[in-house]
Amino acid sequence: MAKGTKKTRTVKKKAAAATTATAASRAAPRTAYVNARLIDPASGLDAPGSLLSEDGLIADFGSGLFADGAPENAETIDCRGRVLAPGLVDMRVRLRDPGHEHREATVSAAAGGITTIIVLPDTDPVIDSVALVEFIGRRAGEAGLINIYPMAALTQGLEGKEITEMGLMSEAGAVAFGDGVSSIDDSLVMRRALSYASSFGLLIVQRPEDNSLASDGVMNEGEIATRLGLAGIPNAAETICLERDIRLLELTGGRYHASLLSTADSVDVVRRAKARGLNVTCDTAPPYFALNEIAVGDYRTFARLSPPLRCEEDRRAVVEGIEDGTIDAIVSDHAPHHQDSKRQPFAQAESGAVGLETLLAVALDLTRESSLSLSGMLGKVTCVPADILGLDIGRLRKGAAADLVIFDADAPWKIDADQLLSKSKNTPFDGKLAQGRVVRSVISGHIVFHASDLDT
């Protein structure tokens, strides 16, 4: 077993480099991207310019590049003033089956401008051993389109009882540890996990929810749930679990990430924890800043999510948390379901939604409806999640892998579930008028998605 934070982090960097190198080993064309709006949230760059990729890496970029014209021996792509940024990093994706869902997920992610995804451990079988971590790595290489990293289980079998061999799985390539959609109920287990992880500098990820309070609830507790005759989940179910974890974090000095914050109280808990200097980060997903419980309508199962959509006051608080930096990252929380599992009475329908192809478009609304800048928003889906995970990706840098996204921030479109590349169509944003579409996604210099209808 590895000893010490430094060694574990070095292993992680090697694993990241190996994944990128695999993609880059294919003969990547020498490509000049011209007439782009270069945005790199990590450095604060936001200016017109060009970028050159060579052998799968970023060779050069900047405002003065190609002042005398693009090189003749390079393929030239005219970005036509569109944004060229680092490819998106999505740190919360469910694949369920580690074998059969990889290809579909990578195609869907590429269409959404996402070049790196973190797979949750609640696959079948559960990612709770070195062998399963390595299996995910092999499958990722076979899928080929995008970079895939595993989040390994925090407890054996996701049962919340015995912690896993986190040190060994970190060496094998796991970038974080959590129980996926399950929360750790046992406070002693969580304390032990945080303490163990702190010895190795490992990241613990929890989707906070007190399971006894959530119980058989299926939507947000309140007037609408009462009117619909549905069992509700109180805000306190999320906040109580989060408060407990923060207290345990104070005892252990570990690294803790709260995923899918959905309530005003939870945002405030994290805000106060950060003010006390605790090593805590958090994320949320587009439904929690773009929708509220009204989207449930008359038992609309595509709006059955976990955590549930909250009230408008909570939605506004999540937006404020994103604006002021309390909420560090935005994730898709991609959870594909077969249509039969959603075409059920609301209480029996599966919870969750697909989100890879709509992540960027819905997040772009924040730049129009809040004080968040375009660069600030992009940081929450590129360099910030990469930094949280300890991965050297999500930024424009000479010598880095040419993992890029080109998108038109002003292109209008209507989200149509039937047109999504994902076989699963369970999106709560079906019919939403959006503004901002991905034109190209690039992995290690190779174009893996091209919206030809936007290149006219």
Q: Catalytic residue numbers?
A: 333
b/e map 430-439, b = 16+ CB within 10 Å: bebebebbbb
Count of other CB atoms within 10 angstroms of residue 34: 19
Structure tokens at 26: 């294919």
49 in helix, strand or coil?
strand
List the end-to-end C-alpha distance of the chain, in Å, as a whole number.
Answer: 55
Helices in 298-414 by DSSP H: which ranges? 312-324, 339-342, 359-369, 374-379, 383-389
Which is it for strands 446-450 and 45-54: parallel, antiparallel or unpaired? unpaired
CA–CA gap between residue 133 and residue 426 (Å, rounded):
28
Is 110 within 8 Å of 88 (Cβ atoms)?
no
Query: Residue 67, exposed/middle/buried by CB under 10 A (0-12, 13-18, 19+)?
Result: exposed
Q: Phi and psi of 100, rounded to 5°?
A: -90, -20
How far apart CA 309 and CA 291 sit, in angstroms, is 7
**Region label for 88, one of left (φ > 0), alpha (ψ between -120 and 50) or beta (otherwise):** beta
Whether the ω angle into residue 428 lies within 30 degrees of 0, i.e. cis, is: no
Residue 206 Cα to chain centre, angstroms: 14
Helix (H, G, I), strand (E, B) or coil at 18: helix
